[in-house]
Amino acid sequence: MHPIIVTISISLSFLARGVFPQDQYYHLPKNVRPFRYNLTIEHHKNTSFSGSVSIDIKVLAVTKNITFHSKDLTLGPIRLYDTIGREIYIVNHIFDEDRDLCILFLRGHLVKHERYKLVIEKFVGNLQHEKSGFFLAKYNDEYGKERNLSLTHFEPNGARTAFPCFDEPGLRAKFIVSIIRDENYNSASNEKLAKSIYLGHGRYQDTFRETVEMPTYLVAFVISDFVYTKEIDRVRVLARREAIANGGGEYVLDEAVRLLRAMEDFTGLRYSLSKVDLLAVPSSYFLDGAMENWGLIMYGDDHLLYYKSTSTTEDLQRCTTYTAHELAHQWFGNLVTPKSWHYIWLSEGFAAYFQYHATDMVEPSWRLREQFVIEEVHKAFTGDLIPMAHPLNYVFEDANSFPSPWMYYYKASAIIKMTEHFLTPPLFREGLRIYLQRKKFSTSQPSDLYRAWQTAVDHANAGYLLDGMPMKKIWGTWDTNVGYPVVTATRDYRTGSLTLTQETYNADNSTGDSSVWIIPITYVLHGAKGSSFAKTMTDFWMTEKTMTLKDFRSDSWLILNKQHAGYFRVNYDTINWYRIIEFLRTYAFKSIHPLNRAQLVNDAFQLVEDAKLNAKIALDLSEFIKQETDYIVLKPFLKRIDSFDFMVAVTPEYPIFQQYVIQLLNFAYEHIGPEEVIRDTHIRKLTRVIVVRRLCLYGDERCQQFGLNKIKTWQRTGRLDIPTDLKFHFLCGAMQNANQHEWDFLFQQYYKADPNDQIIYIMALACTRNRLMLHSFLGQIYDYTNAITTAHRTKALVNMIENNVVGREVVLTYATTQTLPQNSSLEEANSADTITQIVPSRLTDQVELYQNSENAKLVPANFFTKEYLEQYEIDYIDQISDWLRDRQNTLEM
């Protein structure tokens, strides 16, 4: 029978492609919908599982077939009953393997509006190993013993591999989940445990309360030997026994309670389930960081567990903001679900927005509303220039060709943030409350959101905020156009007029796109009465490609896009750029909002990369950093320096460039200091980290000496006194000039250290600039008889290549003269493709030598030639080099 089914399934798929439009081919027919599942899963010794499911369905259209999803499952008897228990005869069923469908053919028609019960009496499947569906994970306990756990990750289409179901986000239903497990394990699911029954032979059946209506991708269960923290206001943390015993869940438990209440207050809607468990699993099994399953949120443990003695300030912020992100999903995505994956931004965009803004509600001193701009908005710009960029509303063929996260996380949240500004926060919030109230326990599409915001505007008689335009029209340009707009402001200093021109930037660096964006323009004209950065309501709307305005006469500068509220970049005429530059060099520079100082840097450097601005202007602009201490400005500046670093590293001016950056950061370093103090705020700690990180990376003598002094004290007292935030950076600085004795001492400590410190020490050892020591270290990295773990070998090798100018040359030489072992754990780090991506010195003799080795098979033949670079990249490098040579005499080399 199986060969016949395969033949039919192929024919059916072929016919279906001709019948259905592309965007409907992978969708289920709309003749029935589920409204309740009763699901039992039996777990079999970490290799397989079996189960049964009954699905209550409602008929939406007269039909003689039922189609549902099933993938990699062996199905037993399938039965269908009406409401009084009469069996409906199933003539046959076939599988469409291309679409993961099981199609039932019935003898008679199902009656519209009637309800039926579909029963799959048994199904069998194997636990997955792809970290999706129902899969097996492993971890080592505190005694080093390997332990197993089995868990689920169903987004976007993994539920069908765990149980037969209607696996689309628009098909919501209630679930009663039962788990049959071994007595040495426990289980958890979306709702609280209702009862646990002993079945004999060391087996238990746990049955959980019925859930509210939700889509299949949010169903979750886990079978493990994990333990809980205490419960506070519906919230618990579930993790490894030793993690809970060591207090790893306490911080996030407290923050999650506050964040849950903050979201309830913002939305005006109480959280819908009886509990929310936060589950920490080994991070290697959750590469996306977390999953928002309703009532059972799953995290990689480094995104949830926080230990005061060993975690960093960046860890603290990551754990908090990721918790905010997933809790926001309990409303945006769970309570209201996108009707289709085409609109996933309705879920992820709001979660990314609240990741920062909900955390800001409970930790206002962290300045997360500003951090949102320099993180999410700046990432959105980057994502809009990648080849796979697409509109927010993106029709794709199936859930296996999912849209780019750059769009539905970063770009969506950036435009949502822009909307908050032009609507004003009160109307923005009121619109979201209307949206959630109207669509709760249901599905939505973008028009529902726009309609809710429009209702809020209309009720407040605030149409003037939108210049009389409907929300749908404004958002229609932002959810449909690809790329982002760049607004060029050109001033006529004789007449006082201002001409604005908008162009669309996209992946091919082209500005030939004819798209027109409806852009909310705000501005500050320095010296003009009442002009300030404080208010971000729209000054005027740009609705055409070009517009000219009068009365912009001023002897000073003009800055568009206050607080970087709008999702667009800005370019200026040269005179205005230099008026801004001159003002930034004065002591009054802080009167320009920090987000606008960050914007100026970010826009200018990107415009240089796009060949729309001379590098001299961006570098002249950057000189104000020598008096800057604000994290909100320094963080994006240093990110931009990374792209300059990659280019300049191929030139003789690279040492000048490094010294220039060091001198720009001198004031910030002196202001912040190398040591933590009691008065340190969260932002001050983050600032110290990014400044010290860059100074140590570029070989600053203060960093090197500070680190060496700490090592000498460590040798004398047996105690290393460097805060976790800075430990790697100062040890790396120390190793840059360490002698053999000091280097050997740190290597000895590696073998004695706990796993967290081992990673720090092995990476710091790779920072030495002594060629003999590096060569010797490479020999030990590739010597599999010693006790260096395979993961640590890769960490050391990659750090040597990425962050050590001498190290990358030694690695390349080593790779051409030694036979590298074929070890899977180092395969990625050893590959020529990887090395050529992270080694900037692709025009050097070392790379030419590497080209001729056996290890360069994957490299394009022209990669090592100057012709590989685009002309604008060559011009860009030449402009930077010229500027650095001009500045060389003013630097302390």
pLDDT in the model for residue 47: 87
Encode pLDDT of 224-280 as tens digits. 999 999 999 999 999 999 999 999 999 999 999 999 999 999 999 999 999 999 999
Summarised one tens digit per residue, pLDDT across range 106-160 is: 999 999 999 999 999 999 999 988 888 999 999 988 888 999 999 999 999 999 9
Contact 185, 49 (CB under 8 A): no
pLDDT (average), residues 672-701: 95
- The answer to whether 820 and 850 are in contact (CB under 8 A) is no
Q: Please give the sequence-ordered ranges of beta strands (E in DSSP) within 467-590, or none if there are none.
A: 484-492, 497-505, 519-521, 523-525, 540-542, 546-549, 558-560, 569-572
642-655 pLDDT, tens digit each = 888 877 776 778 88
- Which is nearest to 643 in space by CA: 683, 662, 615? 615
State percent of the chain over pLDDT 70: 87
pLDDT grade for 798, boundaries at 50, 70 and 90:
confident
pLDDT for the residue numbered 845:
40
> Which three-class secondary structure state does DSSP give residue 442?
strand
b/e per residue, 421-453, with b = 16+ CB within 10 A?
Answer: bbbbeebbbbbbbbbbeebbeebbbbebbbbbb
Is there a catalytic annotation at residue 87?
Answer: no
Give residue 752's pLDDT: 92
> What stretch of H or E contains 592?
none
Mean pLDDT of 754-780: 93
Q: Tens digit of pLDDT for each residue in 702-738?
A: 999 999 999 999 999 999 999 999 999 999 999 999 9
Are 592 and 583 spatial neighbours (Cβ–Cβ below 8 Å)?
yes
CA distance 298 to 188: 11
Tokens representing residue 222 in the block: 């886990």
The string of pLDDT tens digits covering residues 371-384 is 999 999 999 998 88
Token readout for 403 is 């849209």
Same fold for the pair 23-225 and 339-479: no
- CB count in 10 Å sphere of residue 343: 27
CATH architecture of 699-862: Alpha Horseshoe (1.25)
Q: Residue 654 in contact with residue 844, Cβ under 8 Å?
A: no
Tell me the pLDDT tens digit for each residue of 473-507. 999 999 999 899 999 999 999 999 999 999 998 86
Sketch the domain layout of the chain as residue ranges: 23-225, 339-479, 484-627, 699-862
* CA of residue 819 relative to chain centroid, distance: 38
Residues 775 and 748 sit within 8 Å (Cβ to Cβ): no
Residue 35, phi then psi, degrees to nearest 5? -135, -10
Residue whose token pair is 């009656």: 111
Mean model confidence pLDDT for the chain: 88
Residue 878: count of CB within 10 angstroms of its CB: 12
Is the separation of the CB atoms in 188 and 222 below 8 Å?
yes
Which pLDDT band holds residue 832 (cuts at 50, 70, 90)? very low
Distance of CA 66 to the CA centre of its chain: 38
Class of the CATH-defined domain 23-225: mainly beta
Percent of the chain with pLDDT over 90: 72
- List 155, 213, 255, 326, catalytic entry: 326
pLDDT digits (tens, 9 = 90+) for 458-473: 999 999 999 999 999 9
- Provide the pLDDT for residue 79: 96
Cβ-contact 853, 816 below 8 angstroms:
yes
pTM of the predicted protein model: 0.91
Predicted local confidence at residue 820, as pLDDT = 56
pLDDT grade for 825, boundaries at 50, 70 and 90: very low
For residue 833, name the pLDDT band (cuts at 50, 70, 90).
Answer: very low
Q: Which residues are annotated as a binding site?
A: 325, 329, 348
Confirm or reject CATH 2.60.40.420 for domain 484-627, answering yes or no. no
Q: For residues 656-675, give the mean pLDDT.
A: 94
Q: Check whether 402 has a pLDDT greater than 80.
A: no
C-beta of residue 238 within 8 angstroms of C-beta of residue 277 = yes
d(CA 112, CA 186): 42
Residue recorded with tokens 């669309």: 504
How far apart are the C-alpha atoms of 337 and 169, rounded to whole Å?
7
DSSP 672-715: H-SS--TT--HHHHHHHHHHHHHHHHTT-HHHHHHHHHHHHHHH
Query: In terms of C-beta density within 10 A (0-12 exposed, 13-18 middle, 19 or more buried), how is residue 616 classed?
Result: middle
SS3 443: strand
| Pairwise pLDDT comparison (875 vs 429), residue with the higher score | 429
Contact of 634 with 598, CB cutoff 8 Å: no
Residues contributing to the annotated binding site for Zn(2+): 325, 329, 348
Q: Residue 816 has what pLDDT?
A: 62
753 — phi, psi (to 5°)?
A: -80, 165
Q: Is the pLDDT of residue 6 over 70?
A: no
Q: Provide the CATH number for the domain formed by 339-479 in this structure.
A: 1.10.390.10
In the prediction, which pLDDT does 369 show? 98
